[in-house]
Amino acid sequence: MLTRIGVTVTALVVSVLGAAPLASAGDGDVTCPPNQPVCVVIVDDPGSPGTGGTGGSDGSGTGGAVCKVSGTGETVPCYDPAWGWWSSADDCYYKKVVPPPPAAVPQWGGHYPDGSIYAAMCPASGGTGGGWTWFADPPDGYGGAAPTPAVLAQQAVDTMRLSGPAIGMAPTDGKTGLVGLPVWLWTEVSATTWGPTSATASVPGLSVTATARAKRIVWDMGDGHTVTCNGPGTPYTLSKGDAQSPTCGYVYTRSSASQPDHVYTVTATTTWDVNWSGGGQSGALTVTRSSTALVRIGELQVLVS
């Protein structure tokens, strides 16, 4: 059990361990397996839940056509389920009107039943619809270069909105952490921060479903060390007192006084495993997402009179 004593230095309230000594961070990385306390940390001023970071993927390729807006070079999907196929000739999407409109519709221009009428959407011109247009032959790009199952799998992942951890740390409430004392590290668990979550991407005749599950979080503590936690961590509650986290944490061995703004920047990166199937194929992707928070660490100083 821990005993709290007052220390009249830097106006800090200091927690002093009266139980087993804490494991200190050694040189290099520290790994915290689930359900086994191996390392702990002290932090303060953890900041906001963290900003979404960059993400990457590896695995099967993402070949296929690339469509761009001619005026800006912005990349756009070559096919949109609602709008149809992209035409580089006029930067519009076209989708055949099915069933065909009656012959009296003016857009036929006397051509009925030859050719077809297409609904146009031109996002490059402010997102306004282009209305119905008659073509003797399909518009440029219509129905061409259909994406592969791997490309659709990546599109499905994009719709999941996977994020970095929703960072939680303890102690909180604006307190300054101390060198050598513990803190808990965790992420709030949701579909976008830990999963599992699934999404489907489709084009005519092909549908691919992908399922993402978080595998681990690597915590870069900002002092040259990292902690790898093979789970989301355990949220701290007041009932835990000064106990160590049973799943994820770290111990700082020096203060943050020499850092910019006297804080460490902690970056938490989640690795996601994504499995997909569709079109008679299946595969796997690895995706990463990151979040950041700030940690202020002080040193215990005792005045002796």
Domain ranges of the chain: 3-61+148-298, 67-135
* Whole-structure pTM value: 0.59
Report whether pLDDT(210) > 70.
yes
pLDDT digits 0-9 by tens, 100-139:
999 999 999 999 999 999 999 888 765 446 789 999 988 8
pLDDT of residue 55: 46
Between residues 46 and 80, which one has the greater pLDDT?
A: 80
What are the tokens at 211? Answer: 């399922």
DSSP H helical ranges for 121-270? 149-160
How far apart are alpha carbons 83 and 141 in whole angstroms? 13
pLDDT digits 0-9 by tens, 142-167:
876 667 788 889 889 999 999 999 99
pLDDT band per the 50, 70, 90 thresholds, residue 6: very low
pLDDT digits 0-9 by tens, 241-258:
778 899 999 988 899 899
pLDDT of residue 110: 92
How far apart are alpha carbons 252 and 226 in whole angstroms? 11
Cβ-based neighbours of 128, under 8 Å, separated by 6 or more: 122
CA dihedral 73, 79, 81, 82 (to 10 degrees): 50
Q: Which has the closest alpha carbon to 249: 48, 46, 49, 55? A: 46
Report whether pLDDT(264) > 80.
yes
AA letter at 123: P
pLDDT digits 0-9 by tens, 44-75:
444 444 444 444 443 333 345 678 887 787 88
Kindly list the distances between the CA atom of residue 72 and the CA atoms of 90, 93, 94, in Å, as whole numbers in the listed order. 13, 16, 20
